[in-house]
């Protein structure tokens, strides 16, 4: 039987044409960025090459690899402890360690600036206790710095590594662990020599996800004074009014993302990382007692305490001081807009992903396979890059349609897509197709391949078998996929801040605008709403292995 790659390309069917059209629309923003980058930047590019790009590139590289390293250290260590040992509080910490994923990076940055800046409670207490009068009289690390950004963002991004490596550690059966122990490997030697090498693919996959999330961030790096490539796109677009210059920086950022993905793929190569015969038999966890149990519990409790508990306590405190905001129409308008955008994006993304996967399962052709992969490329692009391409592409469509309607019908359609929240929904749908695809593919993998065959023998068509048999069994999977997309859209800032129409606010932009004006107390209630919504899928991620698989494969 020929493999999918070796099969000849057949005549394009109706389903294949639909997949190709969907993939083309999904790829349109990325293609538009390339086209826009070829335009004249009006001398901006020369300025960027000399004064902006060298420093921004170096800063970006240090930031992403610093976050990748710090996230790997925290995530792998905690995953090994909860997978290998039994200690006080282990059952609760098993899922509490995932909670920082509910905190957007920009919210964490705003919180830690409030806590650790010169006027914050920590430094104020130091000055009060020590009797200091100025900052020059004592040492305290500067939180608005590159090391500060690595520290803060790692605290909320390490769960990507924790989830992937915890899953891998739990799949390392008793055979390999017990064999290593018999050969004299115990404690740290067992961890470094056996467990970590076996979990290396999962560790690198999780660290890559964390680094890509860092590349997407705009709010945290701005408030922390870190000039990354993403910030340079934002600055060149809005402050220098140069779309071509911003697109040229975006292309460099896309190259960096592609390099990250290539490194992640090549790091795995063709190696096999599993233990034969030991996957179903789990190794017995070692029970710790006394100070060792306490030390393990404290070690695993510190990351979620710093990445989740501290920001939430601050948000609750600030929100309590601004309870009058409950009557603020602007807040409820932002919430309504967030819900409208997130629900629409979730519905559209799930339907598109279901169509793509179902079409490929029915056709099993190279065209549908390539189309599915192309449609999922949006997640690899940072939100700012996708926003730039979406604005160029869809504003061009709006202007062409308006000119056509004016010429033939004397009617102006205006900016139907680029002038409304529709462009935000489209951009977010394109960006998060990969998330829904991963979750739905995970659900399909748990269905017996004989189900549609049985339906076909009873006279059902391929489409009828999918609707009558498979779809009802995928209800929970589709709901999970929609929930993941919904929450990621609620938290999305980079694309939303660049694409939103005039006077259009979401919770994310509501927080960003007030925090940018040093009014974070006014943003606390909105930030708390985002966090509360984000907790639901985070808990789901920590408890459901198939969803974990979907999340870690979404890039």
What CATH number is given to the structural domain containing 472?
1.10.3720.10
Residue 456 contacts by C-beta under 8 Å, 6 or more apart in sequence?
A: 462, 465
Residue 174: per-residue pLDDT: 52
Query: Region 357-366: what's the mean pLDDT?
Result: 83
CA distances from 37 to 13, 48, 241, 249 (A): 35, 13, 14, 8
Report residue 37's pLDDT band, with 50, 70 and 90 as the boundaries.
Answer: confident
Residue 411: per-residue pLDDT: 87
Residue 277 predicted with pLDDT over 50: no
Residue 31: per-residue pLDDT: 92
Residue 324 in tokens: 């009058």
Report residue 444's pLDDT band, with 50, 70 and 90 as the boundaries.
Answer: confident
Q: What's 325's DSSP letter?
A: G
What is the distance in angstroms between the CA of the first residue and the CA of the last residue of the chain?
30
Which range has the top average pLDDT, 3-12, 281-290, 340-349?
340-349
Residue 288: per-residue pLDDT: 86
Does 275 fall in a domain? no
* Domain count along the chain: 1
Query: Region 193-201: what's the mean pLDDT?
Result: 72
Does 214 fall in a domain? yes
Question: Of residues 424 and 451, which shows the higher confidence score?
Answer: 424
Residue 547 predicted with pLDDT over 60: no
Task: Report the range of poorest mean pLDDT among 103-117, 142-156, 350-364.
Answer: 350-364
Does 421 fall in a domain? yes
Task: Report the range of poorest mean pLDDT among 127-136, 263-272, 480-489, 535-544.
Answer: 263-272
Residue 231 predicted with pLDDT over 80: yes
Residue 279: per-residue pLDDT: 44
Q: What is the dihedral of CA 141, 147, 149, 150, to 10 degrees?
A: -130
Q: How confident is the prediction for the chain on average, in pLDDT?
A: 82
Query: Could you list the residue range(s) of the whole structural domain that residue 481 is in?
Result: 16-269+289-320+329-552
Residue 445 predicted with pLDDT over 80: no
Query: Region 287-294: what's the mean pLDDT?
Result: 89
Query: Region 104-131: what's the mean pLDDT?
Result: 91
Share of the chain above pLDDT 70, in %: 83
Question: Of residues 93 and 471, which shows the higher confidence score?
Answer: 93
Residue 243: per-residue pLDDT: 82
Q: How far apart are CA 59 and CA 230, in angstroms?
A: 11
Query: Region 307-323: what's the mean pLDDT?
Result: 93
Positive/negative CA dihedral, 221, 151, 484, 444: positive
Question: Of residues 282 and 119, which shows the higher confidence score?
Answer: 119
The angle that helices 422-445 and 383-409 make with each other, rounded to 10 degrees, is: 120
Does 526 fall in a domain? yes
Residue 548 predicted with pLDDT over 50: no
**Which of 237, 324, 264 is closest to 48 using CA atoms?**
237
Q: How far apart are CA 22 and CA 352, in angstroms?
A: 8
Report residue 267's pLDDT band, with 50, 70 and 90 as the boundaries.
Answer: low
Residues 178-187: pLDDT tens digits? 555 555 556 5
Residue 175: per-residue pLDDT: 54
Residue 97 predicted with pLDDT over 80: yes
Question: Of residues 217 and 471, which shows the higher confidence score?
Answer: 217
Residue 552 predicted with pLDDT over 50: no
Does 2 fall in a domain? no
Question: Of residues 317 and 453, which shows the higher confidence score?
Answer: 317
The total of other beta-carbon atoms located within 10 Å of residue 301's CB is 17
DSSP 152-194: HHHHHHHHHHHHHHHHHHHHS-HHHHHHHHHTT--HHHHIIII
Residue 545: per-residue pLDDT: 44
């Amino acid at each position: 039987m020929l493999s999918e790659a070796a099969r000849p390309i057949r005549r394009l069917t109706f389903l294949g044409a639909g997949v190709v059209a969907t993939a083309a629309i999904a790829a349109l923003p990325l293609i538009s960025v390339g086209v826009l980058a070829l335009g004249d930047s009006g001398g901006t590019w020369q300025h960027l090459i000399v004064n902006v790009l060298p420093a921004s590139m170096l800063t970006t590289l240090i930031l992403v690899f610093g976050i990748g390293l710090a996230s790997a250290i925290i995530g792998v260590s905690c995953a090994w402890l909860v997978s290998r040992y039994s200690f006080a509080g282990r059952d609760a910490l098993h899922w509490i360690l995932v909670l920082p994923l509910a905190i957007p990076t920009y919210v964490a940055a705003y919180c830690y600036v409030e806590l650790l800046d010169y006027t914050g409670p920590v430094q104020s207490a130091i000055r009060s206790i020590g009797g200091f009068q100025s900052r020059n009289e004592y040492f305290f690390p500067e939180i608005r710095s590159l090391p500060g950004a690595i520290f803060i963002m790692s605290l909320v991004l390490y769960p990507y590594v924790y989830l992937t490596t915890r899953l891998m550690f739990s799949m390392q059966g008793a055979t390999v662990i017990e064999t290593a122990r018999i050969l004299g490997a115990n404690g740290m030697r067992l961890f470094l020599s056996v467990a970590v090498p076996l979990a290396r693919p999962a560790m690198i996959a999780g660290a890559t996800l964390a680094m890509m999330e860092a590349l997407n961030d705009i709010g945290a790096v701005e408030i922390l004074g870190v000039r990354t490539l993403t910030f340079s796109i934002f600055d060149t677009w809005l402050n220098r009014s140069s779309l071509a210059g911003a697109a040229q920086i975006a292309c460099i950022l896309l190259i960096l993302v592609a390099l990250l993905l290539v490194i992640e793929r090549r790091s795995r190569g063709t190696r096999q990382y599993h233990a034969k015969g030991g996957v179903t038999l789990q190794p017995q966890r070692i029970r710790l007692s006394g100070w060792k149990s306490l030390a393990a519990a404290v070690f695993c409790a510190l990351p979620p305490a710093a990445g989740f508990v501290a920001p939430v306590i601050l948000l609750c405190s600030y929100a309590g001081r601004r309870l009058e905001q409950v009557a603020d129409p602007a807040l409820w308008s932002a919430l309504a807009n967030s819900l409208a955008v997130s629900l629409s994006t979730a519905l559209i993304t799930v339907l598109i992903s279901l169509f793509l996967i179902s079409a490929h399962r029915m056709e099993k052709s190279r065209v549908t396979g390539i189309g599915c992969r192309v449609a999922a490329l949006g997640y690899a692009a940072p939100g700012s890059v996708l926003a730039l391409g979406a604005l160029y592409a869809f504003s061009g469509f709006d202007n062409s349609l308006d000119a056509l309607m004016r010429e033939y019908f004397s009617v102006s359609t205006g900016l139907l897509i680029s002038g409304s929240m529709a462009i935000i929904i489209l951009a977010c749908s394109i960006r998060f197709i990969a998330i829904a695809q991963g979750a739905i593919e995970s659900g399909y993998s748990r269905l017996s391949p004989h189900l549609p065959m049985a339906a076909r023998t009873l006279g059902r068509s391929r489409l009828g078998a999918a609707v009558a048999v498979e779809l009802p069994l995928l209800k929970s999977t589709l709901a999970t996929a929609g929930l993941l997309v919904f929450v990621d859209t609620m938290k999305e800032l980079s694309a939303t801040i660049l694409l939103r129409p005039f006077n259009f606010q979401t919770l994310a932009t509501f927080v960003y605008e007030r925090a940018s004006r040093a009014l974070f107390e006014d943003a606390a209630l909105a930030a708390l709403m985002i966090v509360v919504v984000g907790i639901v899928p985070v808990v789901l991620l920590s408890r459901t292995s198939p969803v974990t698989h979907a999340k870690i494969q979404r890039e």
